Amino acid sequence: MEVYGYLRVSGNGQIDKDGFARQKDSVNKFAIESKITIHHYYEEKGVSGTKGKDERPAFQEMITDILSNGINTVIVERLDRLAREYVVQEQLLIYLASKNIVLFNATTGENITEAINSDPMKKAIIQIQGVFAELEKSLLVKRLKKARQRKKAETGKCEGAKAWEEIDPERKTRVLKLVRRLRRKPRGGGIQISYQQIADHLNAEGIKTLRGGEWSAQLVRAFHKRKI
C-alpha cells in the first residue's frame, strides 16, 4: 500500500533545522513497521499550527493529488504536526474523514480517522461534509476530463505526469545505470543484491525519486524494468 507523509514546521527558522528530518524518521519507522510505502512527502514550510486548510499550500496540494490519484492514506508524526490548536485540529480531521482520507499518528500508531468515526456526533458531521466532498470530487474529475480533451484536441495527445525523460533525462540515465550496475549478478556466482538493498543504498546516498521522495523496493524494481 502507498501512502503520503505530511510534515509541518511553524517557523521559517525551523526549515533548515532538524524538524523535517525528525518527522520523516518517525513516519518512516511507522511505515516500515506497517509494511507500507511512502509515495511522497508534503512539507508545510513556515506555517503555524493555528492555520486552517485554506492557508496551507502543501496540504492543499496533497488533497488535490489524493482526489486525482486514489491514494487515500496520510501519516503525520504527531497530531500537533497536523495542527496545534484543538479547534483547528478537529476541523482538519473532520475534513479529511469527509473525503474518506485515513490519517495515522506515527508516534502512537493510532488510526485517527477510525477513532473519530466512532464518535456519533462527529460521524454525523463527517457524513454531511462527505456529501459536499463527493460533489467536489465529481466536479474535479469533470474539469480534468475537459482539460484532457482540450489538450488532446490542441496537440493530438494528452499525457499524464511527466516522465524522467522529459524532466531530467541526464539524471534518469545516471540513476538507471547505477541501478543496473548494482543489480548486475556478480561474477563467480555471488549473491545478487536485492531491490530493497538498492533502495537503501539510493536513500543513503541522498538520491531522490522523480517526485523527490524515498525509494522503495517496488519503485526500484519498476524503474529497473523501465516502467517509470
For residues 50 and 109, membership in a common domain is answered with: yes
pLDDT at position 137 over 70 = no
CATH number at residue 113: 3.40.50.1390
For residues 69 and 169, membership in a common domain is answered with: no
Domain hosting residue 180, numbered range: 164-224
Q: Is residue 103 within 8 Å of 72, Cβ to Cβ?
A: no
pLDDT tens digits for range 183-212: 887 777 678 888 899 999 898 888 888 777
Establish if 7 belongs to a structural domain: yes
Q: Percent of the chain beyond pLDDT 90? A: 25
CA angle 136, 125, 69 (to 5 degrees): 35
Residue 177 or 143, more confident: 177
Section 118-136 average pLDDT: 65
For residues 15 and 108, membership in a common domain is answered with: yes
For residues 117 and 189, membership in a common domain is answered with: no
Q: Report the number of distinct structural domains present in the chain.
A: 2
For residues 20 and 106, membership in a common domain is answered with: yes
For residues 7 and 64, membership in a common domain is answered with: yes
Establish if 180 belongs to a structural domain: yes
Establish if 149 belongs to a structural domain: no
- At residue 163, the pLDDT reads 60
Query: Any idea what DSSP says for residue 15?
Result: T
Which amino acid would we find at residue 153? A
For residues 50 and 118, membership in a common domain is answered with: yes
Lowest mean pLDDT among 7-21, 112-126, 152-166: 152-166
**Spatial separation of the C-alpha atoms in residues 30 and 24, rounded to whole Å:** 10
For residues 57 and 109, membership in a common domain is answered with: yes
Q: Which three cell numbers stand for residue 20?
A: 523535517
For residues 113 and 193, membership in a common domain is answered with: no
- At residue 3, the pLDDT reads 95
Q: Which three cell numbers stand for residue 183?
A: 543489480
For residues 112 and 213, membership in a common domain is answered with: no
pLDDT tens digits for range 17-40: 678 899 999 999 999 999 999 999
For residues 71 and 12, membership in a common domain is answered with: yes
pLDDT at position 121 over 90 = no
**Spatial separation of the C-alpha atoms in residues 96 and 92, rounded to whole Å:** 6
- State pTM to two decimals: 0.54
Establish if 150 belongs to a structural domain: no
